[in-house]
Amino acid sequence: MDIFSAAVMLFLIMDPLGNLPIFASILRHIDPKKRRRVLIRELLFALIIMLSFLYAGEAILNFLNLRSESVSIAGGIILFLIAIKMIFPSPGGVAGLAAGEEPFIVPMAIPLMAGPSILAALILLAHTDSSRMMDWTIALVSAWALSAFILMFYKLFTRLLGEKGLTAVERLMGMVLVMISVQMLLDGISNYINHTAS
C-alpha cells in the first residue's frame, strides 16, 4: 500500500462527512466564541492519540505475539463492519453531554475522530511494514488534515451538501471501504494459506 492509498483508507475510516451532523449538534450548545477553540483542541487530541497508536502499535502486537495474517484478517473484519454501518446507519445520536457542557476528549476526539476502527487500522499499517513509519505518518497527517478542514467548516459543508447529500456521500464512502476491507481480508487469508503451506 502506498502513501496515497493509506491516506484514502484512513480518511474513509475517519468519516468526517458522517461526523458533520454529530459535531454540529455538540457545538451548537457551546458558546459561539469558544466553538473554534474547542474544535481545534479536540482535533489535536485525536491526532496525538492516533500517532501514539501508530508508533506503539507494533510493540503491542509483538507483546501479544500476533502474526501479520491475523491482524490483516481482523482489520478487514472491523473495517467491513464499520463500512456496513456507514451504508446502513442505525438511528441514534450523541449521548452523555448536557446542554452547554464543553466536550473534553470524549466524545469528539474519542470515539468520533479516533475511534476503535482507525486505531486498529493504524496498528495494522505499523505491523505491515514498520520500516515505512514516515510514510504512514504522512498518510495519517494528510487524512487528519483533510478531515479537520471539513470539520472546521462544518456549517459550509452542511449547507452545501444538505442532509440527503451528506447521507449519499457517506454511503458512497462506505461502499469504497467495503472493497478495501474485503481486499484486506483476502490478503490475510491468502498469506495465511501460503505461510501454512510452506
Cβ–Cβ < 8 Å for 135, 9: no
pLDDT of 44: 96
Residue 140: per-residue pLDDT: 97
pLDDT value at 117 more than 60? yes
179 touches 74 (CB < 8 A): no
In whole angstroms, what is the distance from residue 20 CA to residue 24 CA? 6
Cell numbers for 35, please give them.
466553538
Copy the grid coordinates of residue 36.
Answer: 473554534
Q: What are the pLDDT digits (tens) for 135-150? A: 999 999 999 999 999 9
